[in-house]
Amino acid sequence: MSTPVSTENNLAEPIQLSTFDSASLTRAYQPINGTGLSNDVKILRIINDSDQTITISYDSLNDSDVILAESSETFEFQANAQEVPEGAGIKYARKGQIIYAKGAAGTGNIYVGGYR
Protein backbone atom coordinates (compact mmCIF):
# COMPACT_ATOMS: atom_id res chain seq x y z
CA MET A 1 0.00 0.00 0.00
CA SER A 2 1.45 3.34 -1.01
CA THR A 3 1.60 6.35 1.25
CA PRO A 4 -0.66 9.22 0.14
CA VAL A 5 1.16 12.34 -1.03
CA SER A 6 0.79 15.25 1.35
CA THR A 7 -0.99 18.22 -0.17
CA GLU A 8 1.66 20.40 1.55
CA ASN A 9 4.22 19.12 -0.98
CA ASN A 10 2.00 20.26 -3.85
CA LEU A 11 1.89 23.92 -2.80
CA ALA A 12 3.89 26.47 -4.77
CA GLU A 13 6.04 28.61 -2.50
CA PRO A 14 7.84 31.74 -3.68
CA ILE A 15 11.58 32.05 -3.16
CA GLN A 16 13.25 35.24 -2.00
CA LEU A 17 13.35 37.87 -4.75
CA SER A 18 16.82 39.10 -5.79
CA THR A 19 17.37 42.60 -7.16
CA PHE A 20 20.26 43.82 -9.33
CA ASP A 21 20.78 47.44 -10.40
CA SER A 22 21.29 47.48 -14.18
CA ALA A 23 23.57 50.52 -13.88
CA SER A 24 26.21 47.98 -12.72
CA LEU A 25 25.99 45.91 -15.92
CA THR A 26 29.07 45.47 -18.10
CA ARG A 27 29.91 43.42 -21.19
CA ALA A 28 31.26 40.67 -18.87
CA TYR A 29 28.94 38.27 -17.02
CA GLN A 30 28.03 39.22 -13.45
CA PRO A 31 25.87 37.36 -10.91
CA ILE A 32 22.44 39.01 -10.69
CA ASN A 33 21.07 36.90 -7.83
CA GLY A 34 23.82 37.21 -5.23
CA THR A 35 24.93 33.83 -3.95
CA GLY A 36 22.33 31.88 -5.92
CA LEU A 37 18.74 30.68 -5.71
CA SER A 38 17.54 30.36 -2.11
CA ASN A 39 15.76 27.05 -2.89
CA ASP A 40 15.25 24.57 -5.72
CA VAL A 41 12.72 26.10 -8.11
CA LYS A 42 10.26 24.61 -10.60
CA ILE A 43 9.39 28.02 -12.03
CA LEU A 44 12.08 30.67 -12.51
CA ARG A 45 11.26 34.28 -13.37
CA ILE A 46 13.71 36.91 -14.61
CA ILE A 47 12.23 40.38 -14.89
CA ASN A 48 14.28 42.92 -16.82
CA ASP A 49 12.81 46.24 -15.69
CA SER A 50 15.75 48.10 -17.20
CA ASP A 51 16.06 50.05 -20.44
CA GLN A 52 18.71 47.65 -21.84
CA THR A 53 18.49 44.17 -23.38
CA ILE A 54 20.47 41.60 -21.35
CA THR A 55 22.06 38.25 -22.11
CA ILE A 56 21.64 35.50 -19.50
CA SER A 57 24.01 32.64 -18.61
CA TYR A 58 23.89 29.83 -16.06
CA ASP A 59 27.67 29.20 -16.04
CA SER A 60 29.08 32.71 -16.78
CA LEU A 61 30.66 31.38 -19.98
CA ASN A 62 27.91 30.42 -22.44
CA ASP A 63 25.08 32.67 -23.63
CA SER A 64 21.82 30.95 -22.65
CA ASP A 65 19.05 33.46 -23.33
CA VAL A 66 18.28 37.08 -24.16
CA ILE A 67 15.75 39.17 -22.28
CA LEU A 68 14.62 42.35 -23.97
CA ALA A 69 14.49 45.67 -22.15
CA GLU A 70 11.38 46.14 -20.00
CA SER A 71 10.25 42.53 -20.37
CA SER A 72 10.38 39.25 -18.49
CA GLU A 73 10.86 35.54 -19.06
CA THR A 74 9.32 32.67 -17.15
CA PHE A 75 11.02 29.29 -17.26
CA GLU A 76 8.67 26.46 -16.26
CA PHE A 77 10.96 23.48 -15.80
CA GLN A 78 8.01 21.16 -15.11
CA ALA A 79 6.18 22.01 -18.34
CA ASN A 80 7.18 18.86 -20.22
CA ALA A 81 8.23 16.63 -17.34
CA GLN A 82 6.56 13.25 -17.07
CA GLU A 83 5.23 12.27 -13.69
CA VAL A 84 6.93 9.07 -12.60
CA PRO A 85 7.30 7.28 -9.25
CA GLU A 86 9.76 8.74 -6.73
CA GLY A 87 9.86 12.09 -8.57
CA ALA A 88 12.42 10.98 -11.17
CA GLY A 89 10.69 13.03 -13.89
CA ILE A 90 10.75 16.28 -11.94
CA LYS A 91 12.80 19.09 -13.50
CA TYR A 92 13.98 22.13 -11.54
CA ALA A 93 16.77 24.67 -11.09
CA ARG A 94 18.91 23.80 -8.10
CA LYS A 95 19.28 25.75 -4.87
CA GLY A 96 22.43 27.85 -5.13
CA GLN A 97 22.23 28.24 -8.94
CA ILE A 98 23.72 31.60 -9.83
CA ILE A 99 22.16 33.48 -12.75
CA TYR A 100 24.54 35.73 -14.67
CA ALA A 101 23.79 38.69 -16.95
CA LYS A 102 25.75 40.96 -19.24
CA GLY A 103 24.83 44.01 -21.30
CA ALA A 104 25.18 47.76 -21.41
CA ALA A 105 24.72 49.69 -18.18
CA GLY A 106 21.16 50.91 -17.95
CA THR A 107 18.50 52.43 -15.78
CA GLY A 108 16.20 50.20 -13.73
CA ASN A 109 16.47 46.88 -11.94
CA ILE A 110 16.69 43.21 -12.91
CA TYR A 111 14.82 40.80 -10.65
CA VAL A 112 15.21 37.05 -10.16
CA GLY A 113 12.35 35.20 -8.49
CA GLY A 114 10.60 31.90 -8.69
CA TYR A 115 8.49 29.21 -7.10
CA ARG A 116 9.43 25.91 -5.55
Dist CA 14 CA 114 (whole Å)? 6
The pTM of the full predicted model, rounded to 2 decimals, is 0.83
State in Å, rounded, how far the first CA of the chain is from the last one: 28
Helices (H) and strands (E) in the chain, counts: 0, 8
Dist CA 12 CA 105 (whole Å)? 34
Delineate the domains of the chain, giving CATH numbers in brackets: 14-115 (2.60.120)
Strand partners, 54: 67
Q: What is the pLDDT along the chain (116 residues), one digit of tens a residue?
A: 444 444 556 677 899 999 999 999 999 999 999 889 999 999 999 999 999 999 999 999 999 999 999 999 998 887 766 666 665 567 778 999 999 999 999 999 999 999 98
What is the predicted pLDDT for the residue at 83?
Answer: 65
Burial class of residue 115 (count of CB atoms within 10 Å of its CB; 0-12, 13-18, 19+): middle
